[in-house]
Structure 1
Amino acid sequence: MNTATIPVTDFLDILFDGRNKEYGAYALRRKYDQRVRNAMLGTASIVLVVIAGYVINNRLLVSGTHIRSLPPAIAPIRPIDPLIEEAKPLPPPPALPSSSPPPVKPSIKFVNPAVVADEAVAPEDAPPPMDELTIKAVGVTTADGVEDGIDPSLLPEGPGTGVIEAPVPAPRDDREKVFTGVEIPPSFPGGLEALARYLGDHIRYPHLAAENNISGVVTVQFVVDYEGKIKDVKVLSLPRGGGLEEEATRVIKAMPRWKPGRQNGRAVSVLYSIPVNFRLN
């Protein structure tokens, strides 16, 4: 007899025939299908509520992000009339005080000495006695003056302007001179560290030297002139070949302007030398 084909009610009655149906097991078995159905419906309801809440929450968030808040109203700015002060005319410079020339000494006309007879000398051409020369100045004419005055030859020719002209600097005679030692030596822009970076960034190891494993130090001498320009570049060290000397000379000639050396407060040309190290890694 197959239990699957027997109605549940009849099967329970047969199973609990002659047993205590009030104990509880009979009631549990009898309402088993109802409890399973209620549990499935409750679980499905909870899942639907969670899904609906999630969807509603997303829609609220999306609608909230699309709300554009209007900028606050800005009151129009009233243009302000610029305060333009009328230019006041500058007062004229004060007039230079008129000064009278200082008093001068009495002067005696200079007479060219000549050997002639006393009676042939005119009184105005006679040489003055020595005691008069201590209080009088020798000039082109004979004129009166003040004993405490100045020599007439010290007076300026013509009226003065009251303006002192700036002194004209003496022409330089050391532009072509090359110094080997100065008070302040020339320097590369940025110092020695910047010079080392420049050499490392711009030197290209010659292919011929790399293929033949040629390396070493090439000492290059040059002149930093009074304007900071590089000139008269030449190699001092023994030739190593492979294009090392040519590459070192090329990089030195292409350097930017240096800060020139100074001697006695003036920029001068200075002889300088740099060792360029070629090393294969």
Structure 2
Amino acid sequence: MQLSKYFIVLLLLYCTKVDAQFDYKEDWIIPNCDENYPEFPGGISALHQYLQKAIKYPKWVYKNEITDTVRIIFTVGTSGKIVAIKAEEYKHERLAQVVMNAFKKMPAWKPGTIACKPVEMKEAIRIYFLVQ
């Protein structure tokens, strides 16, 4: 969760303002600003449902009883569209490609905001392939 700490620090730096108009007094003004992370339409449960439908487990995974974890790092743009996708920490290239294809077809998210303005934000999700 280092990314979250980075955005919190960034938010504090952006929202903290010094106003020194009153006889050498420094008044810290924190404007009505907030930070919202990107959100899949319908929330987390809708994201899980989408991924279950969109990721088709290849038959060779079952046949060979393959387990793997694919970590997807993606950027939600200011319009909510996924603008960059990268797969990491996987053993099987074909599984990583299956997951990336599902993310490429993903509907637009509600974009993240800092100080009430849409900004690009990175997210990371792990997809586990387990054969039981």
Q: Hey, what does 2:69 align to over in structure 1?
A: 217
Whichever residue aligns with residue 205 of structure 1, its letter is Y
TM-score, length-normalised on structure 2?
0.70
Q: Deviations over 1:177-209 (max 9, x none)?
A: xxx626110000000011011111111112232
Higher-Rg member (1/2): 1
- Is 1:270 the counterpart of 2:121 in the alignment? yes
Give the Å deviation of 1:278. 1.4
The answer as to whether partners of 1:218 and 1:245 remain within 8 angstroms in 2 is yes
Whichever residue aligns with residue 261 of structure 1, its letter is G
1:187-226 to structure 2, matched below 5 A, reads: 187-226=39-78
Which secondary structure does the structure 2 equivalent of 1:243 belong to? Answer: helix
Q: Hey, what does 1:118 align to over in structure 2?
A: none
Unaligned runs of 5+ in 1: 1-179
Q: 1:204 to 1:260 in 2, by over 3 A?
A: same
- Is 1:259 the counterpart of 2:110 in the alignment? yes
Which secondary structure does the structure 2 equivalent of 1:219 belong to? Answer: strand
Give aligned pairs, total.
Answer: 101
Q: Deviations over 1:58-86 (max 9, x none)?
A: xxxxxxxxxxxxxxxxxxxxxxxxxxxxx
The answer as to whether partners of 1:206 and 1:242 remain within 8 angstroms in 2 is no
The answer as to whether partners of 2:68 and 2:92 remain within 8 angstroms in 1 is no
TM-score, length-normalised on structure 1?
0.34
Give the Å deviation of 1:232. 1.3
Whichever residue aligns with residue 264 of structure 1, its letter is A
Give the Å deviation of 1:220. 0.3
The answer as to whether partners of 1:209 and 1:242 remain within 8 angstroms in 2 is no
Q: Please report the RMSD computed on the Cα atoms of aligned residues, expressed in angstroms.
A: 1.6
1:120-269 to structure 2, matched below 5 A, reads: 181=7, 183-237=35-89, 239-241=90-92, 243-269=94-120
1:11-50 to structure 2, matched below 5 A, reads: none
Q: Deviations over 1:190-234 (max 9, x none)?
A: 000110111111111122322221113211000000000002101
Which secondary structure does the structure 2 equivalent of 1:250 belong to? Answer: helix
Whichever residue aligns with residue 214 of structure 1, its letter is I
Looking at structure 2, the residues matched to 253 and 273 of structure 1 have their Cα atoms a distance apart, in angstroms, of: 14
Looking at structure 2, the residues matched to 251 and 181 of structure 1 have their Cα atoms a distance apart, in angstroms, of: 27
Give the structure with the larger strand fraction: 2
Looking at structure 1, the residues matched to 104 and 93 of structure 2 have their Cα atoms a distance apart, in angstroms, of: 19
Higher RCO structure, 1 or 2 (CA under 8 Å, sep 6+) = 2
The list of structure 1 runs, each at least 4 consecutive aligned residues, that deviate by more than 3 angstroms after superposition, is none
Looking at structure 2, the residues matched to 190 and 274 of structure 1 have their Cα atoms a distance apart, in angstroms, of: 17
